Structure 1
């Protein structure tokens, strides 16, 4: 007998080939249909027609059904024999157009023999095979149970096995109290245990599955941490920033959970409240008037009927970004400016005494526009940048430029156009504010020289500033 098992979604329903082992038959002996080796076929329902070979389907609660092949008209009955404990069992079958149901006492493989008889008592050779009934339905409920974290809770998914009542109980402790949930897992195959607010701790569950009709009870224990609450996920992404005269909050809501954000602050001694209700945008900003003044404020987030603790934050100027992982590339370089100058890295080395210079000594010098790109090393909340001119030359610099940002160095967004840079004035920092944008790459394109006749350009240093997520309570 060849067996190849898979677990079906309904239950351990195996349509198993019970291939009879046959010897050669004489002409006058009982003749049986031929038997062909075949893979065991998995089915979710009972066969609609009898198969060529004797097959069986495992049923819940230690039962199975035998399906008979097409037999000779001379076959009057069949005897099925197996051993249960120390007792030999025998079942006599005379109707072959319907399945024969067998009930066992254990969930295991049984060695079963089958012999056919004619009406005058002539017997066929003995055929032997292994049959295994289906498990107890109550036990399979727990074998097939899956646990999945969901925001603020855990989802229990039980396999749907039949229409019979399977009483199920889930118990656990919450804040020192035992919580019990009772239901029929054939009527409610999915149960969500909610109000679990600490996603860092596993919750210990005891699950009881009980078949009251058969007096079978099975217990299992599982541990699972809940999913992070929706408002907690949003809180981790909150950034406070300045946008002109306004303050702002920006957040990410990848689950698109309806979120209400409420901001409270003081402006000129008056209490102010701004809010946005049931926002499901993945990326969202809330702006509020601060008249350009750095200001402390509080805010809360409401999701799924739960409100976050009050959070304290402050809108203030952006802070300089670390340049430890930066790199730069430029449209051209000049090698005749000394070992410390002319190259792209001089733009971001933190030394205003060194500088980058575009090519001027070749036979075919590049002309405007010139450009450089700074890779910030990671995605930053970019909001401000600064540049300082070469310290020992005030005649060959640029006057106007554009700035673009990108996440992938392929798709660029213009965040400033035709901006002015005074490369002829004092060698001091010129800082520029932009509306906060997520960026990894920054490209400056120099469009016009300070001196009309200049074709090359230079720059001492570039710096950038941005915002980091709010430190939460």
Structure 2
């Protein structure tokens, strides 16, 4: 009798386990619809996937919760990323240029999964590594020219640095760029002496390349003489309201930081932009602009545009730069090139007016 009871108890237990197991399987729900036309494309340190959108009918929504893409990373850890059911594109980033196998599936609200798609891809090198491999460092006037290629369309930071032999301090400059052919200039180097320039590339995730270095001997940069300079034109000037010298455009090239060109304020509130152009009287190679603000006045322009010309008619844009309202001379490196005319455009500021105490140019004759 005892054996019979034990047997019945065991049969009951097995039946219970079977029912629980069936219940768990039923809890997962019906399989969600599988993705179709799944395609994978290698990117720079990433894999890009697309697929045909799944319908958004109530039935589809009830079965399909998200898309899952899993792979094994370089450390051997299985990684999974989940994407909304409303998207038909996914990007898996932070990858290296090695083969990866990706498993792609859809997952239902209760955990059921669709038929899986398996795909192998080898991403291109991460963008910061790819760009670092194109870095070229060459000597320039009073500095270094750093050039690179960026075929990814992604934004990176190219940081160039050198140790100033006079102060033994590291001088650096960062160039943020997404352009295909990037160029940056590192200025302020002594001419005629070897200098080692070190360049690194950083992506938006702050991953940094190994340094690329080169030893160069910059050409000597000089401050160009103002002999023969004249004002070639201006948008407006304050005639008389600032005294017999200040206010007029000529005050920006008189060599005196106590005088200044000021845009009109006494007779009209002329809005931005304002501009002033200089005729150097001869062709010279310009590598830097040096601009001095009106002293002890901080209400002027906060952004400038630099331009240059060989004939005073056709102007080349040399770049737009932030301008700080401070007394010290501010330097703006430009691609060394021969010009006869330069123009400084004040593009915006907190008030309607702007001003400059001095326009200095650096380069070589």
Shorter-chain TM-score: which interval? 0.3 to 0.5
Compute the TM-score of the two structures, normalised by the length of structure 2: 0.44
Compute the TM-score of the two structures, normalised by the length of structure 1: 0.34
Determine which structure has the larger strand proportion and give its number.
Answer: 1
Q: Which is bigger in relative contact order (C-alpha 8 A, separation at least 6)?
A: 2
Determine which structure has the larger helix proportion and give its number.
Answer: 2
Structure with greater Cα Rg: 1
